[in-house]
Amino acid sequence: MRLSRFARAIPEHPTDGDTWPTWVPTGSRRRLDPLVRLATAAVDRLQQQGAPLLPDTAVIVATSYGAVESTFRFATSLATYGDTGGSPTPFTTSVHNSCAAALGEMLNLRGPTSTISHGAASPLLALRFAASLVSTGRAPAALVVAGERHNAWSRNVVSTLSGAPWPVSDGLIAGLVEAGPGGGRELFYGYRNADVTIDGGALIPSDAKLLADLPGKKISAPNTLGGWWPGCGLAGINWRDAQSIVVSEVEDGRLEHVWLSGYRA
């Protein structure tokens, strides 16, 4: 199994920002949630790395907070106008699977579609699920999209409740999981020795110690990214680096790992 393509989107980043791709209909842009905008930006960069995605490609989204802005708008409409006055527009984009559904529709993909929400472990579990779908023949490839997009309210709430030592930030990665030979990086779900270990940080001291005790050279992605969101470790990798990498995340005392070989063209 291999991760054949990889891209990221970080709002307002000079090269990895969240500009709308041309394939997103203009009329849809004002209705789609900012999380979808971030996802389309990353997916657009991924698509530029190779041939168009196959029609039966699966779409797997990993997110802890989901479509925050749409959820906030819908809840505000209920609070203002009562149960009968809830706005239907933000409701349709507030459901947790809305990002995966929107990507599948805009990209004309008809493979399996799912959303995983399991805290910091979500992106790595999404890669595991994607590899399972491809290895069992359920899909010829799987598009994995993982990350978060806050609004001002949720950023403040998460910062206050989490006590995160880094700024609570936004970011998203897109990766394509395929079988067989080709470019990219070999993908193995689990731990193997690697040149470097990249982690997404941890908020609980016992979880942070688990990451600190991992062997070898370690990089904490929140330090290099300048911000934290659950499962941000994958966003910290240098995709075309020749070094092998273990991406490690911890959620409630459980370590999850994905091993990636050195990049090959």
pLDDT tens over the chain, length 265 residues: 999 999 999 998 888 988 899 999 998 888 899 999 999 999 999 999 999 999 999 999 999 999 988 877 777 766 776 766 666 676 677 788 899 999 999 999 999 999 999 999 999 999 999 999 999 999 999 999 999 999 999 999 999 999 999 999 999 999 999 999 999 999 999 999 999 999 999 999 999 999 999 999 999 999 999 999 999 999 999 999 999 999 999 999 999 999 999 999 9
Which ranges of the chain does DSSP label H, i.e. alpha helix? Answer: 26-29, 34-47, 68-81, 88-94, 98-106, 122-135, 152-162, 205-212, 221-225
Number of neighbouring beta carbons within 10 Å of residue 82: 9
In the sheet where 245-251 sits, what is the strand order? Answer: 113-116, 58-62, 141-148, 171-178, 2-9, 185-189, 254-260, 245-251, 196-199, 218-220
Q: Tell me, what amino acid is at 107?
A: L
Q: What is the spatial distance between Cα 110 and Cα 156, in angstroms, rounded to a whole number?
A: 37
Which tens digits make up the pLDDT trace of 242-262? 999 999 999 999 999 999 999
Q: How many residues does the chain have?
A: 265
Number of neighbouring beta carbons within 10 Å of residue 89: 13
Give Rg (Cα) of the chain. Answer: 18
User: In the chain, what are the domain boundaries?
Assistant: 2-183, 187-260
Dihedral sign computed on CA atoms, order 30, 225, 95, 257: positive
pTM over 0.85: yes
Phi, psi of 7, deg, nearest 5: -155, 165
Q: What is the spatial distance between Cα 86 and Cα 90, in angstroms, rounded to a whole number?
A: 9
Residue 86's pLDDT is 67
CATH class label, 2-183:
alpha beta
Which tens digits make up the pLDDT trace of 152-194? 999 999 999 999 999 999 999 999 999 999 999 999 999 999 9
